[in-house]
Chain A
Amino acid sequence: MTHQTNLGESGYRNSSVSSQRSFAANISGPVRFGGVIALIYIFLVGVSSLEAGIKLMGEDTQEQLFSAVGNPIAALCVGILGTVLVQSSSASTSVIVGLVASGVLGVDDAVPMVMGANIGTTVTNTLVSLGHIRQSNEFKRAFAAATVHDFFNVLAVIILLPLEIAFGVISESAQWISERLVGSSGTEWKSPVKAWVKGPVGWLKDLWDAVGASGNLQGALMVATGLVIVLVALAFITKNMRSLVADRVERSINAMLSRGGGIVALFLGLVITVAVQSSSITTSILIPLAGAGVVSLRNAYPVTLGANVGTTITALLASLAASSPDSLTVALAHSIFNVAGIFLLYVIPVARNVPVIAAEKLAEIAVERRTLAVGYVATVFIVLPLIGVTALR
């Protein structure tokens, strides 16, 4: 950017920090893109390593570890807590997909968990909105824009989880699609991606073997390695993709602001999230815009819905490295849940206003008593899920 050079000559940019930043910023697009491809491969190795690690553990250990999620509400709470912990539903749903692939987690248990992941991921933009807490009007708009996402996800769970528990509407639909794509549940799916990542996963197994780990310990170490790889790879994928597509994101948001409609905003949220592999990035970009009054709550709302759907791409990607069709079923269930939520709570005009009005009311209360805003975050994302897990396990 040529104009930066001009400003740089005035002196205030000449710090070592900006030099370091410019080095990172100077990595060329093709190199960065190549890096992302490599990181996706590493991410898939992580998912496969997770699956392999669980399989190495004894059946008793596996049962003990996942007995807590037998109850769907507890599973939902585990999904919320796990996602809050890693601040990324992409990461938590990828881990869930890996667990399903290993066979220790069934589709019925995993679906409430991915619903919980959907709720948990909204903590990031709600925390971002708390950054505006000192400016009343700004905070009111930012908090409403953040919590509209919470209300949508919570309402979608309130409607769809009972239907899932009673009739299996989401898992059955996902299974139906999955069977047509890769075969029926319980069979071994010969994923070509699985074959590509087999080598590095074997090396990891050999590595822990070489240091004397075996049985449960080796399995636990493989799971830990897989988790670290998944989280680190996803973080770097997101960071690099954000740099790669930042100009495009900026341009399309500007275009949306000048003449956007709801469906356009929804698709824009989807496209941006698929590109950066993180709904938190998309929704967190929106919060300062909403706070500054550049984008209204009703315009921000569909972008978050698109982000909800867009983020499911990561779990679908993770399922490519898994050997069980059930993992694809769970990834598809995540997508179906979000699309169904949009049909129920956005396409129907009466329902569309419910999350918006609820978010506006909550923001009005929060701006009057700001400690309640912090209390809301702690209660919804930590206290209630903890109570759920503890009471229902």
Chain B
Amino acid sequence: MVLSFFKGGSGEGDLDHIFAKTITMLGNARHSFDLATLALLTDAGASAVEADIRETDERINSDEQELRSELVVHVSVKGNADIGSVLGLTLVLKKIERIGDQAKNILELSVSGLSLASRPNVDDMLTQRQELSTLFTEAANLLGDPGADEDAISDFTDRANATLPGIQEVIDQCMVSDQPGHEVVPLAFYYRYLKRIVVNLIGVVRSSSEPVPLLDHHEETDI
């Protein structure tokens, strides 16, 4: 520990290390999402993946706490020079932690004995699951790419936003459906969780590039 003071060059990237760990957290969140949705949409069942998802969720939570503490240390040591990055990372960490929670919530549906595997449109749901899983990878790439420009970020958020109306439509249909509760309630819950996951993924990418909305008073006045 004391020796760690003398190890390595003084220019070693501290926030880079936090960014790298954040991307790993996002990878873990994707792992939980993949397993939880697989358990609900196929006959795989919860028992095969439950331990793995809970362990991954604990890892995400402990990583979040550790990284938040490292961010506080960073600000205490370095002052406010990196305050924008620190604020962005704080938001990103919280959103990834929430994604982990939503994946766990999807798992809880399976643990309760529910399954969507027998639904007639399950193939479409599996395709959608795959598309959302790909969004995790894209978000991680944008988070880890220092050269990612506003166009790439906008492209991602546009595509992610485009999935939301379809998800909301299913939720709305469930609200007024005449089908029995044991069929529509889990479906509504599932889509509600998907919606939160997508919104949080958009938040991850947006928060990392712009933690607070940019105010440009020059656009509003002549001076």
Q: Residues of A at under 8 Å CB distance from B?
A: 1-7, 9-13, 21, 25, 29, 244-260, 264, 267-268, 271-272, 275, 285-286, 288-289, 292, 294
What is the minimal beta-carbon distance from A208 to any residue of chain B, in angstroms?
39
Q: Does B222 contact A (CB under 8 A)?
A: no
Q: Does B183 contact A (CB under 8 A)?
A: no
Partner pick for A1 among B16, B76, B77, B208, CB 8 A cutoff: B16
* Bound-complex Cα distance A25 to B78 (A): 11
* Bound-complex Cα distance A6 to B10 (A): 22
Q: Does B11 contact A (CB under 8 A)?
A: yes
Binds A, one of B94-102, B104-112, B145-153: B145-153
Q: Can you list 20 A-B contacts (CB < 8 A)?
A: A3-B15, A4-B82, A6-B145, A7-B84, A7-B88, A9-B150, A29-B11, A246-B10, A246-B77, A247-B14, A250-B14, A251-B4, A254-B70, A257-B69, A258-B66, A260-B1, A271-B2, A285-B76, A286-B76, A289-B76
**In chain A, what residue has the closest Cβ to B65?**
A294
Partner pick for A250 among B7, B73, B145, CB 8 A cutoff: B73
B73 near A257: Cβ-Cβ < 8 Å: yes
Q: Which residues of B sit under 8 angstroms from A272, Cβ to Cβ? A: 5
Q: Which residues of B sit under 8 angstroms from A275, Cβ to Cβ? A: 5
* Bound-complex Cα distance A159 to B216 (A): 61
B1 near A255: Cβ-Cβ < 8 Å: yes
* Bound-complex Cα distance A66 to B150 (A): 67
B76 near A245: Cβ-Cβ < 8 Å: no
* Bound-complex Cα distance A55 to B10 (A): 43
B2 near A249: Cβ-Cβ < 8 Å: no
B77 near A6: Cβ-Cβ < 8 Å: no
B11 near A247: Cβ-Cβ < 8 Å: yes
A246 near B78: Cβ-Cβ < 8 Å: yes
Restricting to B1-36, which residues have a CB under 8 Å from any CB of A? Answer: 1-2, 4-8, 10-16, 19
Q: Does B212 contact A (CB under 8 A)?
A: yes
How would residues 172 to 209 of chain B score, 1 for a CB under 8 Å from any chain A CB and 0 otherwise?
Answer: 00000000000000000000000000000000000011
* Known A7-B88, A268-B2; further 7 A-B contacts with Cβ < 8 A: A7-B85, A248-B8, A249-B5, A252-B1, A252-B5, A260-B1, A288-B75
**In chain B, what residue has the closest Cβ to A284?**
B76
Q: Which residues of A sit under 8 angstroms from B1, Cβ to Cβ? A: 252, 255-256, 259-260, 264, 268
Q: Which residues of B sit under 8 angstroms from A3, Cβ to Cβ? A: 15-16, 19, 85, 146
Q: Does B51 contact A (CB under 8 A)?
A: no
What is the minimal beta-carbon distance from A349 to any residue of chain B, in angstroms?
22
What is the minimal beta-carbon distance from B155 to any residue of chain A, in angstroms?
15
Q: Which residues of A sit under 8 angstroms from B69, Cβ to Cβ? A: 254, 257, 294
B66 near A6: Cβ-Cβ < 8 Å: no
Q: Does B74 contact A (CB under 8 A)?
A: yes
Partner pick for B77 among A21, A264, A285, CB 8 A cutoff: A285
* Bound-complex Cα distance A13 to B210 (A): 11
Q: Which residues of B sit under 8 angstroms from A260, Cβ to Cβ? A: 1
**In chain A, what residue has the closest Cβ to B69?**
A294
What is the minimal beta-carbon distance from A295 to any residue of chain B, in angstroms?
9
Q: For A6, A247, A249, A256, which residue has the most chain B Cβ atoms within 10 angstroms?
A: A6
* Bound-complex Cα distance A5 to B4 (A): 28
B10 near A244: Cβ-Cβ < 8 Å: yes
**In chain A, what residue has the closest Cβ to B10?**
A247
B14 near A268: Cβ-Cβ < 8 Å: no
B214 near A10: Cβ-Cβ < 8 Å: yes
Q: Which residues of A sit under 8 angstroms from B74, Cβ to Cβ? A: 250
A2 near B16: Cβ-Cβ < 8 Å: yes
What is the minimal beta-carbon distance from B25 to any residue of chain A, in angstroms?
16
A12 near B4: Cβ-Cβ < 8 Å: no
B15 near A1: Cβ-Cβ < 8 Å: yes
**In chain B, what residue has the closest Cβ to A248?**
B5
**In chain B, what residue has the closest Cβ to A285?**
B76
Q: Does B223 contact A (CB under 8 A)?
A: no
Q: Does B72 contact A (CB under 8 A)?
A: yes
How would residues 138 to 150 of chain B score, 1 for a CB under 8 Å from any chain A CB and 0 otherwise?
Answer: 0000000111111
Q: Does B81 contact A (CB under 8 A)?
A: yes
Q: Which residues of B sit under 8 angstroms from A247, Cβ to Cβ? A: 10-14
Q: Which residues of A sit under 8 angstroms from B214, Cβ to Cβ? A: 10-12
**In chain A, what residue has the closest Cβ to B215?**
A12
What is the minimal beta-carbon distance from B70 to any residue of chain A, in angstroms?
5
Q: Which residues of A sit under 8 angstroms from B209, Cβ to Cβ? A: 6-7, 9-10
Q: Which residues of A sit under 8 angstroms from B12, Cβ to Cβ? A: 247, 251
Q: For B7, B16, B77, B209, which residue has the most chain A Cβ atoms within 10 angstroms?
A: B77
What is the minimal beta-carbon distance from A390 to any residue of chain B, in angstroms?
38
**In chain B, what residue has the closest Cβ to A281?**
B77
Q: For A247, A249, A258, A264, which residue has the most chain B Cβ atoms within 10 angstroms?
A: A247
Q: Which residues of B sit under 8 angstroms from A268, Cβ to Cβ? A: 1-2, 5
* Bound-complex Cα distance A248 to B8 (A): 8
* Bound-complex Cα distance A294 to B66 (A): 9
